[in-house]
Amino acid sequence: MRRTYTAALVKELEYQGKTYRYPLRSIYFGGGTPTWLETDCIKLIMDTIVKWFRINEGAEITLECNPGTVTRDSLRAFHMMGFNRLSIGLQSANEDELKLLGRVHDLKRFLHTFELARNAGFMNINVDVMTGLPYQNPQKLQNTLDTVVRLHPEHISAYSLIIEKGTPFYEKYQFDSVRQEAGMQTEILPTEDQVYELTKQTEHFLAANGYRKYEISNFAKPGYEGEHNSGYWTMVPYLGAGLGASSYIDGVRYSNKTNIYDYIEASEAYDRNDTAGNHWMDEETLQSRTRNDEMEEFMFLGLRMTDGVSLADFEERFGTRMDLIYRDVIAELRREELLDMYEGRVFLTERGMDLSNYAMAKFLLED
């Protein structure tokens, strides 16, 4: 199956490479655990990209991996192929939390992986950690943070756990999750107040250790802000290839098919040359987009970054002034001290970041 999938993905990349007209500023292998594929499969994919796309000089090329799915040899091979950034999903340094998350690795294995990565030549490493885990307390979180900071990774992503439909967690914690959202007393998950404290603890500790918060969940040493992620928030076009991947090209958003058999069938159809066009796209996800959609996204995506959005960029993109469209919203959020304006930029305050959904939802326009 892995090889069949790789072959299918290579076909898609070949097709996309022929039609995509922008040079690549960054490449990201991720979402899930791409290192689940054999090293030669990843090489084949990388080679295909190099063959069919134009890649900018110094482009950020990231590989996401989980501790234990890589070896000294594979990491060396990845570095040789051109990957210059590695993202390691640690999540937690505490055994009980890892077990709860259903992770197969342990702390020892993570430390080993990190060391191997440095030795293989990765000088830009991100570590994912998670806050808001069931039963998490400040001591446990601190243990994770200490462990990570001691290794001096260039970048740290600190996401809070979200209990979502369709995940195994949902069955287990759905009631608690509703209570948590409503700011009520919870049984297993931390309460809203506790999540707040845990987030603040993370932010303060990372800031004290030289990591700047540049986005809601992302921290970096100066100069190591994730190029690829920031692209999503600034509405740069991006192409997603592979099962279920999302794309945003020339103002159009769509996602690929999510059923692996359908996906493979798409590549076969492409091979048979049945019909022209994008076989991998799930037609139902194709969105016709209005100017309002674009303005909303410009705002709520841009505000994820601590630097916020620029009034000039907005005007250039939409031909109208932001304060004409959003005057009341901006005034209201400023009054509530969730948002501020300085030197031509609009950005969320620290409290605004904490209450980002509340603030961002205000930027949705009526149809």
Partner 1 sequence: MTFEQDKIRNFCIVAHIDHGKSTLADRMIQMTGLLTEREMQAQVLDNMELERERGITIKSQAVRLIYHAKDGNEYIFNLIDTPGHVDFNYEVSRSLAACDGAILVVDAAQGIEAQTLANVYLALDHDLDVIPVINKVDLPSADPDRVKDEIEDVIGIEAQDAPCISAKTGLNVEDVLEEIVTKLPAPTGDATAPLQALIFDSLYDAYRGVIVFCRIKEGTLKAGMKVRMMATGAVEEVVEVGYFGAGQFIPCDELPAGTVGYFTASIKDVQETRVGDTVTEHNRPCAEPLPGYKKVNPMVYCGLYPADSSKYTDLRDALEKLQLNDAALQFEPETSIALGFGFRCGFLGLLHLDVIQERLEREYNLDLVTTAPGVVYRVHKTDGTMIELTNPSNLPDPSEIDYMEEPVVDAEIMVTSEYVGAVMDLCQERRGIYVSMEYMEETRALIKYVLPLNEIIYDFFDALKSRTRGYASFDYEMKGYVESKLVKLDVLINKETVDALSFIVFEGTAYERGRKMCEKLKGEIPRHMFEIPIQAAIGNKVIARETVKAMRKDVLAKCYGGDISRKKKLLEKQKEGKKRMRQVGNVEIPQEAFMSVLKLDED
Pick 184 or 331: Cβ nearer partner 1: 184
Q: Is residue 176 a contact point for partner 1 (CB under 8 A)?
A: no
- For residue 317, report the phi and psi dihedrals to the nearest 5 degrees: -75, -40
Which tokens belong to 70? 């890589």
Closest CB to partner 1 among 57 and 367? 367
Applying the rule CB under 8 A, the residues between 6 and 65 that interact with partner 1 are: 30-31
The window from 18-26, 94-102, 104-112, 352-360 that contacts partner 1 (CB under 8 A) reads 352-360
Of 116 and 245, the one with the shorter C-beta distance to partner 1 is: 245
Number of residues that bind partner 1 (CB under 8 A): 45
Instruction: Tell me whether residue 115 or residue 350 sits nearer to partner 1 (CB atom).
Output: 350
CB closer to partner 1 out of 9 and 120: 9
Based on CB atoms, which residue is closest to partner 1, 269 or 355?
355
Order of strands, sheet of 345-348, starting from the edge strand that comes earlier in the sequence: 309-310, 345-348, 339-342
Q: Could you say which of 181, 187, 274, 328 contacts partner 1 (CB under 8 A)?
A: 181
Place of tokens 């409503």: 182
Of the two residues 268 and 293, which places its CB atom closer to partner 1 in the complex?
293
* 182 touching partner 1, by CB under 8 A: yes
**Whole-angstrom Cα distance, residue 258 to residue 277?**
18
Regarding beta strands 155-160 and 125-131, do their DSSP bridges make them parallel or antiparallel, or are they unpaired? parallel
Answer positive or negative: Cα dihedral of 90, 96, 99, 105. positive
Footprint (CB under 8 A) of partner 1, residues 236-255: 238, 240, 245-248, 253, 255
Sign of CA dihedral 98, 104, 106, 111: negative
Burial (Cβ within 10 Å: 0-12, 13-18, ≥19) of residue 81:
middle
Window 292-331: contact mask with partner 1 (x via CB under 8 A): ----xx--xx--x---------------------------
Give the ranges where the chain is alpha helix by DSSP (H). 2-19, 39-52, 72-81, 95-100, 107-120, 138-150, 168-181, 192-208, 227-233, 260-272, 291-302, 311-318, 322-325, 327-335, 350-354, 356-361
How near is the Cβ of 161 to partner 1 at its closest, in Å?
9
Query: Residue 10: which of 332, 269, 267, 322 has the closest Cα?
Result: 267
Q: Does 107 bind partner 1 (CB under 8 A)?
A: no
The conformation of residue 303, written as its DSSP 8-state character, comes to T
- Name the residue nearer to partner 1 (CB basis): 180 or 310: 180
The torsion of the CA quartet 84, 146, 218, 253, rounded to 10 degrees, works out to 70
Taking the complex as a whole, the smallest distance from the CB of residue 361 to partner 1 amounts, in Å, to: 4
354 contributes a contact to partner 1 by CB under 8 A: yes
Smallest distance, partner 1 to C-beta of residue 320, A: 21
Site string for partner 1, 123-152 (x = CB under 8 A): ---------x--------------------
Give the pairing type, strands 55-65 and 85-91.
Answer: parallel
**Per rule CB under 8 A, is residue 209 in the interface with partner 1?**
no
The CB-based long-range contact list for 352-355 (8 Å cut-off, 24+ gap) reads 352/303, 353/216, 353/306, 354/196, 354/199
Q: Which of 160, 209, 234, 349 binds partner 1 (CB under 8 A)?
A: 160
Q: Which is nearer to partner 1, 107 or 286 (CB)?
A: 286
List 252's β-bridge partners, or say none.
249
Instruction: In whole angstroms, give the CA distance from residue 316 to residue 339.
Output: 22
Q: Which residues contact partner 1 (rule: CB under 8 A)? A: 30-31, 132, 159-160, 162, 180-184, 192-193, 195-196, 199, 216-217, 232, 238, 240, 245-248, 253, 255, 285, 287, 296-297, 300-301, 304, 336, 338, 354-358, 360-362, 364
